[in-house]
Amino acid sequence: MADGSMTVGNVEISHLYDLVADFPLTLDQLFPTVTAEAWEPYRRDYPELFGPGNAWRYHAGCYLIRSEGQTILVDTGVGPSSLGLAAWIGTGGELPDRLRAAGVPPEEVQSVVFTHLHPDHVGWNLQQNGGAPRPTFPRARYLAHRADWETFHRPEVQQAMEGVAPAYVPQTLTPLETLGVLDLADGERSLTSEVTALHTPGHTPGSMSLLITSGSERAIIVGDAIAHPAQVEHPDWGFAFDFDGETAIQARGQLLDRIEAEGLILTACHFPEPGFGRVVRLEGRRLWQAL
Ligand SMILES: [Zn+2]
């Protein structure tokens, strides 16, 4: 896997992969309304996203943004192999090593922003080495949307995730509040004059997208609002991890219409390397095309 970087005006964005692995659930389990034949064109368009048979080659992407002297990390991946989710997937991530390879020690990160609070986006939040947890990024504030913070602290929501990521909320989320490093957004939140977290609910109630505007250039990081680039052509392909299927489909359609109308560069956490592309019309299809 190759990490990709690009500049948007004066902003530098790197897409850092915590891990790439064949996901424990198959495509027909993840996208239950989609037939095997319907995947065929995307096997050709995005071969990096398909494993043997019916496997989803899962990419756990995070982003590093540098804007106006600020170093912002977007999402923290699956996390170390000691977490339940990593055990379920069969491997732990390597985000801290990727950051170091990009010349970024953990102390340099000033903000951690969550596109949403699913377990594969929060894994490296804390270090658990024996004793009490401490923030992996010791100088950072961590920003989540309040709607996700409240949703994923509901006992029945945690119960529903137990088979996939047992105890991830008390291990990776709750201590952020007790350690005093958590900020909650209620709507839009500007991180710099070039980077804004937008509330784009759908995949989860508190999903956020990062809009980057610098000079005449613009890009958007949509988290898992678009989980697979095939959904650019088919926003109605429901994803099993969408919190509320109907709302997610509607939100995905609206987001894509805006991205296309405004010509935004589009990237999403589970897109293949290097991760940045545009929405184009090609032979009657609306496609995500890598830059
Ligand atoms: Zn995800």
**Mean per-residue pLDDT of the chain:** 96
Distance between Cα 85 and ligand 1 center (Å): 12
Distance between Cα 47 and ligand 1 center (Å): 19
Q: In whole angstroms, what is the distance from residue 83 CA to residue 222 CA? A: 25
Distance between Cα 199 and ligand 1 center (Å): 17
Distance between Cα 217 and ligand 1 center (Å): 26
* Encoded tokens for 45: 């368009």
What percentage of the chain carries pLDDT values higher than 70?
A: 99
Mean pLDDT of 41-47: 96
User: Which residue is it, tokens 């990776």?
Assistant: 172
pLDDT digits (tens, 9 = 90+) for 83-116: 999 999 999 999 999 999 999 999 999 999 999 9
pLDDT band for position 129 (50/70/90)? confident
Mean pLDDT of 24-30: 98
What integer pLDDT is reported at residue 3 of this predicted model? 64
CA of residue 25 relative to chain centroid, distance: 18
Q: In whole angstroms, what is the distance from residue 258 CA to residue 160 CA? A: 33
Mean pLDDT of 138-157: 98
Distance between Cα 215 and ligand 1 center (Å): 30
Distance between Cα 86 and ligand 1 center (Å): 13
What integer pLDDT is reported at residue 2 of this predicted model? 55
Q: In whole angstroms, what is the distance from residue 231 CA to residue 253 CA? A: 9
pLDDT band for position 1 (50/70/90)? very low
Q: In whole angstroms, what is the distance from residue 275 CA to residue 272 CA? A: 5
Mean pLDDT of 244-269: 97
Residues near 140 by beta carbon (within 8 Å), at least 6 away in sequence: 73, 109, 110, 111, 112, 181
Distance between Cα 93 and ligand 1 center (Å): 13
Distance between Cα 277 and ligand 1 center (Å): 19
What integer pLDDT is reported at residue 34 of this predicted model? 98
Distance between Cα 118 and ligand 1 center (Å): 6
Distance between Cα 26 and ligand 1 center (Å): 15
Distance between Cα 19 and ligand 1 center (Å): 12
Torsion of the alpha carbons at 59, 62, 63 and 69, rounded to the nearest 10: -160
Distance between Cα 11 and ligand 1 center (Å): 24
